[in-house]
Chain A
Amino acid sequence: MRRTGLPLAYSQGFHPQPRMNQAAPLPLGMLSDAEVIDIWIDSTISLENLQQYLVDTPQPGIEITSIRIIPGNEPSIQTRVHHVDYLAQPLMGKLSATIQPEIDHLLSTNQLLRVRRQKEYDLRPLILQLAFIIVDSMQGEALSMSLLSLPGQTGRPDEVIQALGYDPSEFRFTRTAIHLTD
């Protein structure tokens, strides 16, 4: 953002930082096709102008898909996240032949107690959707899932894979959508 030359707004205090908020932090080691970030600008600027600033500065690895100007008094982006979609692709291309019954079984349970960072929690209510799919572009098999992402109730896709009995390090995870409440 600093390279764009945009007049970024900075926080106050001893260590001023550009004011930016990510909707939901992306877990380490995962890819994303869908990130939403709030960025505060220090002056009024037209959408067109803003687009120009951003397009003129290549950001390797980051593609800007859309920009919207929002009023400063809107609720912050983190408070509006409801659930997040992920794709989990096996590095070897294929999933086990028994994956469908395994999914069905997992979804049929009422409770999935797991421990993460020495804390027990229930993964089951965090899974809104979980399905076996074929990714068209690559003819590859994958799991798609929607996980709740609310304060204190955030589902992690690697935990779902583990709950299914697989090793998450054998998968590539991609965040495909962040769903906001209105």
Chain B
Amino acid sequence: MTIPPEKIELFLEKHLLSVEKPGRYIGGELNQVRKEWRDQIKVALAFPDIYDIGLPNLGLLILYEIINKREDALAERVYAPWLDMETVMRDAQIPLYALESKHPLLDFDVIAFTLPYESIYTNVLNMINMAGIPLDAKERTQSYPLIIAGGHAAYNPEPMARFIDAFILGDGEYIMDRFIDQIHNSRSTGQSKTELLKLLANLPGVYVPSLYRPQYNQAGQLTAVTPIDKTLPAVLHKHMSPDLPVAPARPLVPNIDVVHNRIAVEIMRGCTRGCRFCHAGFINRPVRERSVDEILAIIETSLQNTGYEEVALLSLSSSDYSHIEELIDSIQSRFEGKNLTISLPSLRIESFSVDLMEKLRTARPGGFTLAPEAATDRIRRTINKVIDDESLFSTVREIYQRGWQTIKLYFMIGHPNETDEDVIAIANLCNQVLAEGRKVIGNRANLNVGVATFVPKPHTPFQWVRTNTPEEIRHKQEIFRQHIKSRAIKYSLSQPDETIFEAMLTRGDRRMADAILYAWQNGAKFDAWRDKFRSHIWTEAFSHAGIDPETAIHRNKEKIEVFPWDHINPGVNRSYLLAEYERSLAGELRQDCREQCFACGILPFYQDLRMQNPGDHWKCPEILVN
């Protein structure tokens, strides 16, 4: 049942002061778009974590502007209420509402969830439930909003297939318009939900799970996921756009502190490095760059419209942006004296990175972050991220010399075929880095180390690789600890049970829905929050759903094994991934594909698009028209 916005406003006025950070729940930020409530297609953009984390989400900001540009559509926002607010809302029987109009989500035509990672699946369920909407997609009749989802985790949609009507795969900016067009048409012709879903399923990059069926063999292994009728595509390719979409001109400016209080400008999408563990690097191919002029214009406009003091230049690998030096120099000269901080994440381990950071240095001396990932040559070859220790040392010397006192290094344990020696090498490398720092600036040198545990992700060459067991992880963490020589090295290690949880969810098939539902029913939510994550609920949930971690994630997969995501194609073919996996086992490297195309699948599939979009902003080779 829906209730009028006035009632929700009155509830807020009465109860907001009883919860932490009431600013999360009222909207009204600078650049909020508040449209008149008419008969438009109404989309609630939903982020399944709290406001503080969701507000800066660039994807959501882009969709917000794109949808609100349309005369015939409206987009509002909703984030997961924190636990205190949830209690107050449930007690007062207030359904989940959108921040702009305070209309309950039930009043919307579409609820569009962003799924950046798997640990927010229970929050999605909780939000649907707080909205007063049945969780099971098949129980939702025409009168309920259509629930759709997109984002990195959607590339294996199967675990959430039971709850979501349609997934959007690929560069969502371009699909959203066609998606809304379709809903518009079908509304004006009075089509049923079933008819609408069929039409949506024929749009590029749209996956309607209810129109696909998984098949299992007698042993309970998945053998295929196939469309229920022949007019539907058997393999769903992501929708890829030849260039980067327009950046938001008017990013929202929150009234409270959020995780990133800044303008984020995507300078490049995709990565050509081919690190074999990297999900983002494979699903976001090909590399598409924005021009320096366009980036400068975006910064100029959004600064004017927000008043922010910080700009983050986002990409998977800043050093690989072709015009990085020119960009930094132009930003320096254009915004000199404007009290602007520029942040540049993901720099390569080389002294050039230090030069870049030096140019960006303001009065705030932050840390300097590098991600070697591994410490032995063998593992570096396995993961295809090769750096030599000498250039790491010279880079860190340079960093300490030029005035940074803190360096942060990121590593992973749990790589394929890793031995104790490989882990000890990580600790030793950290000891050596600190020693280099001490040579330069003595005891002022600090080193922070993050050691994550590798989770083999779908659509990467390592999708065949096993996840370490909790015992193996604990053992490796223990030997890492033992070999760290100095207290000046601060390190953080991942929790083994969180790794198992992540691996299970990221690799699950449709049967995982039972586990997610069970976990949520038993109180799991905010699983991405370390202090809220309850391991025992998930252990129970997996066993309730009959999924054994031993067979599901702790054994290497057969080369012919069917994966739950095989019918989803992010542009990179399975055969290419397998070839990469085999090279990795043989310790063979694959060079940066900017230098040479290795036919991962992008170019063969999107060749017409490439032909229509020549130019070197797209880093695949050009296809010449004969």
Contact = CB atoms under 8 A, between A and B. Distances in A.
A91 B363 contact: no
A3 B363 contact: no
A159 to B, nearest CB: 13
Nearest to A168: B17
B17 A169 contact: yes
A169 B28 CA distance: 21
Interface string A11-24: 00111101000000
A165 B308 CA distance: 44
A5 B118 CA distance: 42
B305 A169 contact: no
Interface string B21-45: 0100000101000000000000000
B30 A15 contact: no
Nearest to A172: B13
Contacts of A15: 363-364
Contact of A28 (B10, B17, B308, B363): B17
Given A14-B363, A16-B363, A29-B22, A91 B13 contact: yes
A28 B22 contact: yes
B14 A170 contact: yes
Interface of B is mostly: helix
Indicate the member of B22, B28, B30 with the most A CB atoms within 10 Å: B30
A69 interface: no
B611 to A, nearest CB: 43
Interface residues of B, number: 21
Nearest to B338: A2
B221 interface: no
Contacts of B18: 169
B256 to A, nearest CB: 10
Interface string A101-112: 000000000000
A1 B10 CA distance: 32
B14 A14 contact: no
B304 interface: yes
A144 to B, nearest CB: 20
B307 interface: yes
A13 B306 contact: no
Contact of A14 (B10, B13, B339, B364): B364
A10 B30 contact: no
Interface in B389-405: none
Contact of B307 (A3, A61, A169): A3
A170 B11 CA distance: 10
Contacts of B365: 14
Contacts of A168: 17
A1 B307 contact: yes
B15 interface: yes
B478 interface: no
B10 A61 contact: no
A8 B364 CA distance: 19
B16 interface: yes
Contacts of A169: 14-15, 17-18
B548 interface: no
A10 B339 contact: yes
B13 A16 contact: no
Given A91-B10, A169-B18, A61 B28 contact: yes
Contact of B363 (A13, A18, A60, A170): A13
Interface in B338-366: 339, 363-365
Contacts of B306: 3
Nearest to A13: B363
Contacts of A170: 14
B309 interface: yes
A14 B366 CA distance: 10
Nearest to B365: A14
Contacts of A13: 363
Interface in B160-215: none
B313 to A, nearest CB: 20
Given A29-B22, A169-B17, A2 B28 contact: no
28 contacts: A1-B307, A2-B303, A2-B307, A2-B309, A3-B304, A3-B305, A3-B307, A8-B339, A10-B339, A13-B363, A14-B364, A14-B365, A15-B363, A16-B363, A18-B339, A28-B17, A28-B22, A29-B16, A29-B22, A60-B28, A60-B30, A91-B13, A168-B17, A169-B14, A169-B17, A169-B18, A170-B14, A172-B13
What 9 A-B pairs have minimum CB-CB distances, sorted nearest first? A2-B307, A3-B307, A29-B17, A169-B14, A14-B363, A10-B339, A14-B364, A91-B13, A16-B363
Given A3-B307, A14-B365, 15 more contacts: A1-B307, A2-B307, A2-B308, A3-B305, A13-B363, A15-B363, A15-B364, A16-B363, A18-B339, A28-B22, A60-B30, A91-B10, A168-B17, A169-B18, A172-B13
